[in-house]
A and B are shown apart, each in its own frame.
Chain A
Amino acid sequence: MNLYDIIFYLFAAITIVSAFIVVNAKNIVYAAFSLLFTFFGVSGLYVLLGADFIAIVQVMVYIGGILVLLLFGVMLTHKITSVDIKAGSVQTIPAVIIIGIFAALLIGLMYSTHWAVNPAEIPVTTTKSLGKTLVTEYVLIFELLGILLLVAMIGAATIARRDGDK
């Protein structure tokens, strides 16, 4: 068991334990904060997979953007005065049974499949080659995603102030 394995198990444990807390927490704010650790653990897994740029983007976009957005959502949709930032669950027992079977099937399938593993030499820094790939091979998707982000921004602003017909 070398250092790589120990770090992998550390990040995997952080990811899975905090995801369990997200799923089971009664308080939404606690769930949001443990989602932070899930994203952090996933970003550590990206680093172990040699994807340094994706890991940084994960930290910046998920933790810096999406999590703050979710917390805004929590704060804006609950009255601060009434201490009611709780979230219940419905029909947990059937869900646990079905999803347990599903997860067991998924993991069993992954172990029984013979993957054609052929590990590549990923360069030490992927940023330069990622940028090159993005503007040559994937340039159409890149531009389309730019348009999509613009449309999403305008759409979100329009939906959020629907009653503003002045």
Chain B
Amino acid sequence: METIGLNHFLVVSAILFSLGIYSVVTRKNAIMVLMGIELILNSANINFVAFSKYGNYGLGGQVTALFVIILAAAEAAIALAIVLNLYKTFTHINIDEIDELNS
């Protein structure tokens, strides 16, 4: 068994990314879609930090990962406000049934 290198982290992040895409594509509930987006952002972050260590680029990758975490927090807050509004308008948040702009 080879020692842990860059590829191992990249594979974990690729699996996490695929699972996130799967959740975004197939789930009906808007909050489950949000969880999928969080998985995707986490997988991108693993890549940033892994390349920052194995590519010898200094701390740039870690700073970028920090910025991604901040953006994820802002995105979650806005998205949940939108989801609450959807619930007020439609009384459910199944995004496969929400198909009209003006209700």
Contact = CB atoms under 8 A, between A and B. Distances in A.
Interface in B58-94: 58-60, 62-63, 65-67, 69-78, 80-85, 87-88, 93
5 contacts: A19-B16, A38-B42, A42-B45, A54-B66, A152-B78
Interface range on chain A (Cβ under 8 Å from partner): 35 or more
Interface of A: 1-2, 4-5, 8, 12, 15-16, 19-20, 22-23, 28, 31-32, 35, 38-39, 42, 45-46, 48-51, 53-54, 57-58, 61-62, 65-66, 69-70, 72-74, 76-77, 87-92, 95-96, 99-100, 102-103, 106-107, 110-111, 115-120, 122, 126, 129-130, 133-134, 137-138, 141, 145, 148-149, 152-153, 155-157, 159-160, 162-163
Contacts, number: 227
Given A70-B76, A152-B77, A159-B78, A77 B7 contact: no
Interface of B: 1, 3-12, 14-23, 25-29, 31-32, 34-36, 38-39, 42, 45-46, 49-50, 52-60, 62-63, 65-67, 69-78, 80-85, 87-88, 93, 96
A54 B62 contact: yes
Contact of A116 (B27, B55, B70): B55
Given A16-B16, A120-B53, A35 B3 contact: no
Given A57-B66, A69-B76, A95-B25, A110 B11 contact: yes
A53 B49 CA distance: 11
A117 B8 contact: no
A32 B38 CA distance: 11
A131 to B, nearest CB: 10
A91 B22 CA distance: 10
A1 B23 CA distance: 34
A138 B15 CA distance: 31
Contact of A145 (B26, B46, B70, B85): B70
Nearest to A50: B53
